[in-house]
Amino acid sequence: MEERRRLLVLIAATTGAILIPLNTGMLSVALTPITGAFHVPVATGTWLILLYLLLMTSLQPSAGKLGDRYGHRRIFLVGLLTFALASAGAALAPTFGWLILLRGLQGVAGATLAPNATALIRLAYPVERQGQAMGLYVGAFSLGLTLGPVFGGLLINTLGWQATFWINLPIALFAAWLGQRTLPTGTGNETVAFDWWGSSIFAVLIGGAVVAVNLWKEGRLPFPIWAVLPALALLGLALYWVEERAQDPLLRIGLFLLPGFGASNAAIYCVHTVMYTVMLAVPIYLEEARGLSATTAGLYMAVFAVLQVAVAPVAGRLSDRLDRRQLVGVAGVFFLLGAGVLWRLNMATALVWVPLGLALVGTGVGLTTAPVQAALLSACPPGLVGVGSGLWYSSRYLGNISGALLTSLLLPANPGQGAHGLYTVLGVAAVLLTASSRFLKN
């Protein structure tokens, strides 16, 4: 493939996939006007975000598997067009029930984008340049997460909350137009049946666990949390039994035995647990304990985001030249130092320590994601890169969910007391990241 077309493939795949973090960030600032417009409680409105994350987490392996079977280009383009239609419908939704339904359709469509975008980039770039390509992709992904709240706020203030959905149409249609002309074809293998049973049980298992934990966290679970565990264990056993007998299983146990595959999933889980915890806990400390405005807290958090965006492309290029294991190991040290700095935050701490801690953790995130994703792509056989990428993205979102849960459980009611337990757990996650880096495929 010529260099110009490789670049266009990267632009198309990245433009489509950036819809995922952009729509997470924009909706986070749109909840108040949306719930006000439909006269529903804010707690009910949070399901617009939870449902999206839930479907993304549980469906991405299946979406990647569909790409392996029917072609990553085809599934990616269908996902883009579905995302555009769901966004238009959400902007025109007459009731909150319709908005929830269409937001769910956005989540289903979004689940098809990231794993198939990753697979298409892998197909376009040779092994020795995949780290560089993934660095640019990850940098754009981080940029989407960073710009989401800012962009969403501007749109809402000028055009209303509906604009946070309308803006998806030109992005999705541009990515589809460019992808139609440039993305590689003929990548599917339709000779093997799709694993419907495995896909369904996996979605119910992950979705049920996420819903149960969130209802428990909100105090709305109608039975004790421990009562959920036997049901989840039975679903896990059923999934294992089905997958061991499937002709072409969604969850190939053998994938986790391949050198580096399990380590890549463990590493990205640790990274996103730390990242999401910091994203949630530090603004609460700045606003509630130190009395800063949301705008000022956002400026502090910009340090965290900017370093991720700036470092990711550099880390991607370095991962093509240096030992990925060493690069991720160094990132683990940044995480550990950052957790140590944030551990000391209390009412008497000088605020200069906040950007230092955020800079250390943000640098760690930027150093890690592209090398870990490149290591996963190297570990996956060519015919399984879609489902492998889907599992990897599910590990990312499970890390996000773990970060949210840790924050709700371990952040003190008075954040000014110091969240020592929370940041100690993040330090443990940093150590686990460094340990898992030893087993990545270089």
What digits encode the pLDDT tens for the residues 20-30? 888 877 876 67
What digits encode the pLDDT tens for the residues 388-401? 777 777 788 788 77
pLDDT confidence of residue 133: 80
Closest CA to 372 of 293, 233, 283, 275: 275
pLDDT confidence of residue 169: 95
Type and span of the H or E element at 287? none
Percent of the chain at pLDDT > 90 equals 24
What digits encode the pLDDT tens for the residues 151-204? 777 888 788 889 999 999 999 999 999 999 898 876 666 666 677 888 888 888
pLDDT confidence of residue 218: 66
Domain range annotation of the chain? 1-183, 195-247, 252-442
pLDDT confidence of residue 192: 61
| CATH architecture under which domain 252-442 falls | Up-down Bundle (1.20)
Comparing 233 with 148, the larger pLDDT belongs to 233
Comparing 91 with 203, the larger pLDDT belongs to 91
CA distance readout (Å), 308 to 5, 126, 206, 230, 297: 27, 25, 28, 40, 18
**pLDDT over 80 at 113, yes or no:** yes
Helices (H) and strands (E) in the chain, counts: 17, 0
**DSSP of 233-288, one letter per residue?**
HHHHHHHHHHHHH-SS-SS-GGGGGSTTHHHHHHHHHHHHHHHHHHHHHHHHIIII
Comparing 298 with 396, the larger pLDDT belongs to 396
Owner of token pair 């160094």: 330
Task: Kindly give, in sequence order, each residue whose CB lies less than 8 Å from that of residue 352, ignoring residues fewer than 6 positions away.
Answer: none
d(CA 364, CA 46): 29
**pLDDT over 80 at 103, yes or no:** yes
Which CATH number describes the domain made up of 1-183?
1.20.1250.20
181, with CB counted inside 10 A (0-12, 13-18, 19+), is exposed
Are the folds of 1-183 and 252-442 the same?
A: yes
Contact 427, 340 (CB under 8 A): yes
What digits encode the pLDDT tens for the residues 305-362? 788 888 888 888 887 777 888 889 999 999 999 999 999 998 888 999 999 999 999 9
Owner of token pair 């944030």: 342
Contact 313, 136 (CB under 8 A): yes
d(CA 187, CA 181): 15
Closest CA to 361 of 326, 380, 336, 325: 336
**pLDDT over 70 at 217, yes or no:** no
